[in-house]
Structure 1
């Protein structure tokens, strides 16, 4: 529980970092594990354990909380400090589809961690913080 609380604090701090201060990332094949969380000054969100497996330009994964985030499988492309996921799985309509791992994200490296982050404006972010196993 302490780790998840610390993760939320790190999310807030990382959201306020200047993007140019972070090291660009090259995704290599392998398994990456860590946390996902949505952060916002207007709401409290919990953190979820996530696993992503990258091979070539494909990914698959899972989260410890069903559909938070919604990770299945698909392809990805990288350009500079951006990564774009293309989800290949069908989803049902009973949840917030912004949690599906699809679309464009910023991607950076801090030490051994990779940070994959998307902004929704108004200081709301989805952030994946993971390390390669």
Structure 2
């Protein structure tokens, strides 16, 4: 992560875009790539995340809201969590 920019690489998959630290516990990522539909878009580093530090880990948590999605109503309490460890 450089000032205002991020890049994620895992295997042959990648993501990149911009980020803004909103306050001491929230950060917003905006992925700038074009994606096809055959995967879970919620896995993209995109949108608002709560963040905190635990030792050498940065923990990003995105809470999923089912909203108006009929099939997603049970997702209101679900979340994606990423634990990134500094090398």
Q: Counterpart of 1:72 in 2: which secondary structure?
A: strand
Instruction: Please list, as runs of the form range in 1=range in 2, the aligned pairs for 1:1-133 lying within 5 A after superposition.
Output: 54-64=1-11, 71-80=14-23, 81-120=25-64, 121-122=76-77, 124-133=78-87
Aligned length: 75
Given the two structures, how large is their TM-score scaled by the length of structure 1?
Answer: 0.51
Whole-angstrom distance in 1 between the partners of 2:7 and 2:79: 22
Whole-angstrom distance in 2 between the partners of 1:96 and 1:113: 25
Whole-angstrom distance in 1 between the partners of 2:59 and 2:5: 18
Whole-angstrom distance in 1 between the partners of 2:44 and 2:58: 19
Whole-angstrom distance in 2 between the partners of 1:89 and 1:114: 24
Q: Counterpart of 2:39 in 1: which secondary structure?
A: coil
Which structure has more relative contact order (CA 8 Å, sep 6+)? It is: 1
Structure 1 residue ranges, 4+ long, deviating more than 2 angstroms after superposition: none
Given the two structures, how large is their TM-score scaled by the length of structure 2?
Answer: 0.76
CA RMSD of aligned residues (A): 1.6
Whole-angstrom distance in 2 between the partners of 1:78 and 1:116: 12
